[in-house]
Amino acid sequence: MNMNINMKMKAAVVVFPDSNGDRDAKRAIETLGIPVRFVWHKESSIEDFDLIVLPGGFTFGDYLRTGAIARYSPVMEEVVRQAKRGAKVLGICNGFQILTEAGLLPGVLLRNRGLLFLGRDVWLRVENNATPFTSAYAQHQVIRLPIAHGDGNYYIDDEGYKRLEGEGRIVFRYCLPNGVAPNGVAPNGVAPNGVAPNGIAPNGAKGDVAGIVNEEGNVLGLMPHPERLVEPILGGQDGRGVFESLLNAVCGRVN
Amino acid sequence: MNVWKEHGLTEEEYTQIKALMQREPNYLELSLFGVMWSEHCSYKNSKAQLRKFPVTGPQVVQGPGENAGVVRLDGKLCAAFKMESHNHPSAIEPYQGAATGVGGIIRDIFAMGARPVASLDSLRFGSLDDARTKGLFRGVVAGVGGYGNCIGIPTVGGETFFHPSYHGNPLVNALCVGLVEEDKIFKGQATGVGNIVMLVGARTGRDGIKGASFASEELSDSDPDKRPNVQVGDPFMEKLLLEASLEVLEAGLVVGLQDLGAAGLTSSGSEMAGRAGSGLYIDLEKVPLREKNMEPWEIMLSESQERMLMIVEPSKVEAIEKVFDKWDLIASAVGEVTGDGHFTVRRGGEVLASVPAEFLTDKAPVNLRPAAEPEYFRALKKADCSQLRDWKNWTDLLKKLLASPNIASKRWVYEQYDSTIGTNTVVRPGSDAAVLRLSGSSGSPGSVKGMALAVDCNSRYTYLDPWRGGAIAVAEAARNVAVSGARPLAITNCLNFGNPEKPEIYWQFVQATDGMAAACSALSTPVTGGNVSFYNEYDGRAIYPTPTIGMIGVLENVEDRVTSDFKAEGDWVVLLGETLEELGASEAHFLLTGRDEGEVPFLDFEKEKKLHAFLVEAARNRFLASAHDCSDGGLAVALAECAIANAMPSPFKGTSLKGTLGVTLDWRGSVSPAAALFGESQSRAVISVSPGKWEAAKALLKKHNLPATLLGKTGGDAFSLRYNGALLVDCPLSHLARLWNDAIPEIME
C-alpha cells in the first residue's frame, strides 16, 4: 500500500462527551496509513476534511433520545457544511443516530425490538456497492460485523422506505449467513417469501435495514461496527472494506 | 436508642472509641467511626484471616491495600485489576445496584492511573423458576450492561450460577482491569503539607447514605424500605470523569488520587491521610451539593457516585480546573493536607469533627471470631449417589444438563454486553477465559503479549467442603486461564459469606480462605487485593460460601491463544488428567436429586500444576486446536460444549445456523460410566489436536508426565460416546445445540 498517497487523505473523528468508539475508529483508519485528527465537539470551525467520522458511543449519556443532544454540538454545523461540500461523512451506531437527528439522513432509530441491548455479530449483505463506502465489496457480498446497541431499530414511513429502496440508498441489509435477505431480493433473484415475515434484523429494523446513504451518496449511517473488524486477530476483517472504499474514493485506486 | 447503636457500633466499640479519643465523640465524629468501623470498610472480622494470603511474587507490583492490585505483564506495562461485590444494593434495586457496582470498580482502576480496558462479572441468583429471581436476574444483567456499554468498557467474560441458597440475596461481583505503565501508577495518598484536596466529578446528594453500614447487615423482607441506601449510577458522568482524570494524570498535575466509594468523603479522605501518615481537612462549605440543607453527617456519609478525591499542589489547581471545565465537570478545592495526623471536618472556620486519621483506618477492632464446624459438614459427606450411578438413559441426562440454567449457554447474558468495544478483545465471552491483546493498548504500541482473564467459584464445593472448595476455586480459575494458553499470574477476589458472627459461618470463611491461600501458594498466583462481603443472608438463611476468584494470566504471544471450540474435522480429541470414581457434589447428582451432598472432588496441586505447564507449553508450540476445562457437569458436558460452542441461534426459532462440529468417541477406563461421563474429577481438560501435530503433542505429554486418554476424532453431525464398548450417548448435535442455546432465553421470554 502506498503510504504517501494515503497520507494525503484527511480524516477526522469527532469526539463528543461519551463518544466511546472514537479511539477504535481512529485506530481502524490508521491501519490503512491514513492520519486521523480527533475533533472536539465544541470546535465550531474546522479545516476541510475528506472524511468525517461520527463514532459510536452514548453521547451525553443518551438519556434523552439517542443523538438528540449531540446534534446541537457546535461541530455539527461544520459537519453539515462539509457534507454539503461533498466530504464523506460516516456515522457508526450512535453516529448514525446523530445523523438522523441532524437531518442528514432520513428515518429514526427506535429501541430494539425485545428492548434488550444486543452485542453480537450479524451478517450483512452489501445491497449497493456503487457508493464511496462500499466499492471495495462485491455487489451482494455477505459480510460479518459486530453490533452493539440498544436503539438500532430503523424506522421510516412506507413512502420514505420505498424511496430509499428505489434509489439504491439501502446500502447494508441484515441477512442470513448464506446471504438470504428475506426482505430483499436473494442473490438468485428469488425472494423467499414467508420465511421471516417480521424480518430477521435482530433489532427489528424496517426492511432489515442496517445502513443507508443520503441522496448525494456521500453520507453513510450504519448500526454495525466496521471499525471493530479490520484485523484478522479480531476475528475477521470484513469491516476493512468500508475504509478501503473511502480511500479509493478520495485518493483513487491505490492497490 | 443508644447513641452507638444508631451508628451501627457495639457498646464495646463505643467504649474503645472514647478511650482512644480520651473524650466523648460528638455526633458527627461518631458517624465517621460508625462507617469506618463497619465490616465493609474496616474488614474487622476478616483482617486477621486475610493476612494468611500470599501477597508477593516477582510479578506483583502492588499488593493488597491500594485501590487495586497491579501485576507486571510486559516490561513496564502492568495490569491494575480488582473485583468488588455489590450484593445488597442489587437485592433491593437490581439495575442500579449492579450498575453502580460496575461504576465503583472502574473508578478503583483509573484511580491507579490505569485506563480500564475490560470488565468481567460473576453473578449468582436463586432458582430461575421463581418470578422474583427472574426480575433480579433481568435487572442485574441490564444494569451491568447499561453501565459498561455506556462508558465504553467491554464486558468480556464472567459466570452466572443459579442456586436456591441465593434466593433473596443475589451476588453481583464485578471485576475491572486496566493498563498502566509501572512508573505512572498513582496511589491514594495525601502527601505534601499545604497541598490542596480537590473533589471532582458529580455533586454530593443524599443517595446511598450509610450504604457501608447497610452492606454490613443481613437482608429481610422489609428491605424495600432501604431503597434510599442504594446509589444511582450515571455512566455518562463517569465517562467524563474517567477522561478528565486520565488527562490530568497524564499532564502530571496530580499528587494522589482516590475514588469515593463506600462511606464517601469519610473513607476516601481518612484513608488517603492514613496511608500517607499525614492529615487533612475538608471544608463542607466548599463541597458542591445537589440538595439543600444537608446535615454535615449526610455530606460526609453520602455515597453519591462518580466522584474522586485528588491531592494537588496549589500551583496546579487552576490547570486542573481548566481540564475539568473542558469536560463540563466540577473540580472544587474542598480542603488541604495538614500534617497534623487528623482527619478534620470544618464548616468555614468552625471545626465540626477532628479525629486522628489512623483511629478511623487502622484502629478499628480486629475481631477473632469463634469458629465452629457446622453439623452438616460431616453429615453430608456421606451421599447416596446410586441414582446417578445406576442411571440408564445417559443421552437424556446429558440433554437435561445442557438445558439446565447452570450449564446452558449464557449467551442471553453476554449478548446484552458490548464485548468488542476497544478492539482488543481477541477471545470473546463463551470460552474458558477472555483474552485481550496488549498491542495498541495504552503505553504499549508494540507488545505481542496477551492477557487472559477468568472468574470462577463452584459454591456447591465451598459449601460441602470450604477448604477444598476454596482451593478448587483458585485451581479452576487458573485452569481456565491455562487452557487459553496463558500462564496464571495472580488473583483478586470477592469473599461472599453469611453473617460472621455465627460460628458456623466464620468457620466456612476460615476454611475457604485457608484453602485459597494454599492453592495460591502452590500455583504461585498471589493475592493482589479483593473485597469481603459478609452478612449475605436472607431471612436468617446464609448463602453458600462463595469466594469468587478473579484470575489474570499472560500469553507470551497473543497469537498463541486457544479457544474451547473444536476447529476441524478429523482432529484427535484427548482428555488430559485422571478420572476418579467421583460422583458426589456433582451438577448431575444435584439435577437428579435436588441434593447437594457427597465428597467434593479431590484436588492435587502437583497434578494441577503439571496440567497448566503442559497447556501453556503446548499453546506456545501451537499444538492445540482447542482446549477446554473439564468441570461442572463432567466430561460429557465438556465435550458437548466443545462441539456446540459456536452454534449460533437462528433468527428463526428452533434452528441453529452453523458452527457445530460433532465427535465420535470410543474409549476405555476403570471408573463407572456415570463417573466417566458426569463425574467432576479435578485437574482435567479436553483438547483437540490436528493429526499433523499429534506426535509432537504426545512427546510433550510424555515430557510433562501427564496422563492422557485418546478419546477419538472430531467430525460429522453426531455426538456419539462409546465407553468400555457400550454406546452411552448418541444424539444429533443440533438437538443438543438447540437445548443449550434456548434454555435461558425461553425461561426469560
pLDDT in tens, B226-251: 656 677 888 999 999 999 999 999 99
pLDDT at B13: 92
Are the beta carbons of B416 and A21 separated by less than 8 Å?
Answer: no
Chain B interface test: which of A233, A238, A240, A243 (most B C-beta within 10 Å): A233
pLDDT at B214: 66
Per the document, the length of chain B is 749
Strand partners, B527: B491
Residues of B with Cβ-Cβ distance to A24 under 8 angstroms: 421-423
pLDDT at A98: 96
Contact predicate A117/A79, CB 8 Å? no
Residue B260 placed within a domain: no
Question: What is the Cα–Cα distance from B236 to A59, expressed in whole angstroms?
Answer: 8
Contact predicate B567/B352, CB 8 Å? no
Task: Find the CATH number of the domain harbouring B626.
Answer: 3.90.650.10
Band of pLDDT at residue A114, cut at 50, 70 and 90: confident
Question: What is the Cα–Cα distance from B447 to B444, expressed in whole angstroms?
Answer: 6
Question: What is the Cα–Cα distance from B84 to B72, expressed in whole angstroms?
Answer: 21
Nearest-by-Cβ selection for A177 from B417, B437, B657: B657
C-alpha angle B157/B631/B405, rounded to 5°? 60
Q: Which residue of B lies nearest to A94 if distances are taken between CA atoms? A: B150
In the block, which residue shows the cell 483511629? B359
- pLDDT score of B577 more than 70: yes
Give the amino acid at B270. S
Give residues with Cβ within 8 angstroms of A34, minimum separation 6. Answer: A6, A7, A9, A11, A51, A243, A247
- pLDDT score of A255 more than 50: no
Chain B interface test: which of A120, A200, A237 (most B C-beta within 10 Å): A120
Q: Tell me the CB-side half-sphere exposure of residue B738, using CA atoms within 13 A.
A: 12
Nearest-by-Cβ selection for B149 from A148, A200, A230: A148
Band of pLDDT at residue B444, cut at 50, 70 and 90: low
Contact predicate B425/B484, CB 8 Å? no
Band of pLDDT at residue A193, cut at 50, 70 and 90: very low
Find the mean pLDDT for residues B600-614. Answer: 98
Contact predicate B733/B595, CB 8 Å? no
Q: Which residue of B lies nearest to A59 if distances are taken between CA atoms? A: B236
Catalytic-labelled residue, pool A41, A140, A149, A225: A225
- pLDDT score of B224 more than 70: no
pLDDT at B300: 94
**Residue B50, Cβ density class (10 Å: 0-12 exposed, 13-18 middle, ≥19 buried):** middle
Find the mean pLDDT for residues B114-121. Answer: 97
Contact predicate B299/B287, CB 8 Å? yes
Distance of CA B572 to the CA centre of its chain: 35
Containing domain of residue B668, as a range?
563-749
8-state DSSP, B412: H
Residue B596 placed within a domain: yes
Q: Which fold has domain A3-251?
A: Rossmann fold (3.40.50)
Question: What is the Cα–Cα distance from B296 to B397, expressed in whole angstroms?
Answer: 61
Ordered strands of the A219-222 beta sheet: A36-40, A11-15, A51-54, A88-92, A219-222, A209-213, A170-175, A118-126, A142-149
Residues of A with Cβ-Cβ distance to B410 under 8 angstroms: none
Backbone φ and ψ of B693, nearest 5°: -110, 0
Are the beta carbons of B420 and A119 separated by less than 8 Å?
Answer: yes
Q: In this structure, how many other beta carbons lie within 10 angstroms of the beta carbon of residue B370? A: 10
Residue B289 placed within a domain: no
Burial state string for B263-295 with b = 16 or more CB within 10 A and e = fewer than 16 = bbbbbbbbbbbbbbebbbbbbbebbebeeeebe
A17 part of contact set with chain B, CB < 8 Å: yes
B interface with A, Cβ–Cβ < 8 A, is 142, 145-146, 149-152, 234-237, 239-240, 327-328, 414-423, 425-426, 428, 437, 440, 558-559, 648, 650-652, 657-658
In the block, which residue shows the cell 449531540? A70
Nearest-by-Cβ selection for B419 from A57, A119, A227: A119
A68 part of contact set with chain B, CB < 8 Å: no
Catalytic-labelled residue, pool A41, A93, A149, A244: A93
Residues 114-173 of A with CB under 8 A from B: 116-120, 146, 148, 150
Rounded to whole angstroms, what are the CA distances from A180 to A139, A154, A186, A196, A200? 14, 20, 5, 11, 10
**Residue B52, Cβ density class (10 Å: 0-12 exposed, 13-18 middle, ≥19 buried):** middle
Question: What is the Cα–Cα distance from B473 to B316, expressed in whole angstroms?
Answer: 47
Rounded to whole angstroms, what are the CA distances from B732 to B127, B636, B712, B729, B737? 29, 14, 17, 10, 9
The strand pair at B60-62 and B69-74 is best described as antiparallel
In the block, which residue shows the cell 470463611? B509
8-state DSSP, B201: E
Q: What is the mean pLDDT of chain A?
A: 90
User: Angle, nearest 10°, between helix axes B264-276 and B27-36?
Assistant: 80
Are the beta carbons of A117 and B418 separated by less than 8 Å?
Answer: yes
C-alpha cell of residue B437: 491483546
Residues of B with Cβ-Cβ distance to A202 under 8 angstroms: 651
pLDDT at B650: 62
Q: What is the mean pLDDT of chain B?
A: 93
- pLDDT score of A254 more than 80: no
Percent of chain B with pLDDT over 70: 95
Number of domains in chain B: 1
Question: What is the Cα–Cα distance from B235 to B98, expressed in whole angstroms?
Answer: 12
pLDDT at A176: 85
pLDDT at A189: 41
Band of pLDDT at residue B485, cut at 50, 70 and 90: very high
pLDDT at A194: 38
C-alpha cell of residue B529: 487485593
pLDDT at B40: 83
Find the mean pLDDT for residues B324-345. Answer: 94
Are the beta carbons of B236 and A195 separated by less than 8 Å?
Answer: no
Are the beta carbons of A119 and B239 separated by less than 8 Å?
Answer: no
Backbone φ and ψ of A184, nearest 5°: -115, -170
Contact predicate B458/B477, CB 8 Å? no
Domains of chain A, by residue range, sit at 3-251
Q: Tell me the CB-side half-sphere exposure of residue B302, using CA atoms within 13 A.
A: 23
Give the amino acid at A142. V
Burial state string for B95-121 with b = 16 or more CB within 10 A and e = fewer than 16 = bbbbbbbbbbbbbbbbbbbbbbbbbbb
pLDDT at A67: 86
Residue B52 placed within a domain: no
Chain B interface test: which of A72, A116, A227 (most B C-beta within 10 Å): A116
Backbone φ and ψ of B4, nearest 5°: -70, -35
Q: pTM (2 decimals)?
A: 0.94
pLDDT at B442: 52
Helix (H) or strand (E) holding B118: strand B115-125
**Residues of B recognised as catalytic:** 40, 86
Residues 69-88 of A with CB under 8 A from B: none
Question: What is the Cα–Cα distance from A186 to B396, expressed in whole angstroms?
Answer: 40
Are the beta carbons of A119 and B437 separated by less than 8 Å?
Answer: no
Q: In this structure, how many other beta carbons lie within 10 angstroms of the beta carbon of residue A44? A: 11
pLDDT at B538: 94
Question: What is the Cα–Cα distance from B403 to B396, expressed in whole angstroms?
Answer: 11
- pLDDT score of B632 more than 50: yes
Percent of chain A with pLDDT over 90: 77
Contact predicate B438/B74, CB 8 Å? yes
Give the amino acid at B410. K
The pLDDT tens digits of the residues spanning A38-93 come to 999 999 999 999 999 999 999 988 888 888 888 889 999 999 999 999 999 999 99
The pLDDT tens digits of the residues spanning B666-723 come to 999 999 999 999 999 999 999 999 999 999 999 999 999 999 999 999 999 999 999 9
